[in-house]
């Protein structure tokens, strides 16, 4: 008894012209007038919208006081984040910290970058500039203001935490 393998007939490979024709039949319009160059960003999570909005408002207020500043320049962002560090209150150690931590400042830098690129004027802070700001926060600004690099102790999901989360959402 021999085993015979049954082969299915191979499908004919579609040409690019066939594919384009099929796309047009399915509603594709060859003109690109419906397309634009506006970037598309992912939708912000509900809990992310407020910090982005707060950072954008602080940035706009800063620019009103310093209208000659260029938001894409490192020295402008350096000056801005020194102001952010000096106005922030720490939350570690029951609020006994004088300033925010380096980690929270770097988070605010990322929030500002995200908020600016989504704003109407779409100012883009390059990734390299953001990296330099994070290095500035971890280095010279940390030394200048004696910032802490401490992190909050890790907590784990307990039944009480889970119930509280489910009630919140």
Residues 23-45: what's their mean pLDDT?
A: 84
Least confident of 17-26, 78-87, 89-98: 89-98
| Predicted pLDDT at 92 | 60
pLDDT digits (tens, 9 = 90+) for 138-158: 999 999 988 888 877 777 788
- Tens of pLDDT, residues 41-75: 889 888 889 999 999 999 999 999 988 778 788 99
What was the pLDDT predicted at 4? 60
* Alpha carbon distance 133, 75 (integer Å): 9
pLDDT at 97 over 60: no
**The pLDDT of residue 105:** 93
So what's the pLDDT on residue 143? 93
In angstroms, the CA 144 to CA 156 distance is 34
> Is the per-residue pLDDT at 7 higher than 70?
no
Torsion of CA 56, 61, 67, 68, to 10 degrees: -60
The pLDDT mean for the chain works out to: 84
Segment 95-116 mean pLDDT? 84
**pLDDT bracket for residue 134 (50, 70, 90):** very high
The pLDDT assigned to 91 comes to: 66
Please state the separation of Cα 29 from the chain's center in Å.
Answer: 33
74-87 and 102-118 are packed helices; what angle lies between their axes, rounded to 10 degrees?
A: 120
């Amino acid at each position: 008894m021999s085993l015979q393998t049954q082969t299915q007939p191979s499908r004919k490979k579609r040409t690019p012209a066939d594919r384009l024709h099929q796309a047009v039949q399915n509603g594709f319009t060859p003109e690109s007038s419906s397309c634009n160059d506006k970037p598309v960003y992912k939708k912000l999570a509900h809990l992310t919208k407020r910090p982005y909005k707060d950072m954008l408002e602080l940035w706009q207020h800063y620019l009103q006081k310093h209208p000659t500043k260029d938001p894409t320049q490192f020295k402008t962002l350096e000056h801005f984040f020194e102001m952010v560090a000096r106005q922030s209150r720490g939350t570690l150690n029951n609020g006994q910290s004088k300033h925010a931590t380096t980690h929270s400042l770097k988070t605010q830098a990322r929030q500002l970058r995200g908020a600016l690129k989504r704003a109407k004027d779409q100012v883009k802070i390059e990734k390299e500039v953001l990296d330099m700001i994070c290095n500035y926060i971890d280095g010279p600004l940390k030394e200048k203001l004696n910032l802490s690099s401490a992190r909050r102790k890790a907590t784990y999901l307990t039944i009480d935490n889970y119930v509280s989360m489910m009630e919140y959402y």
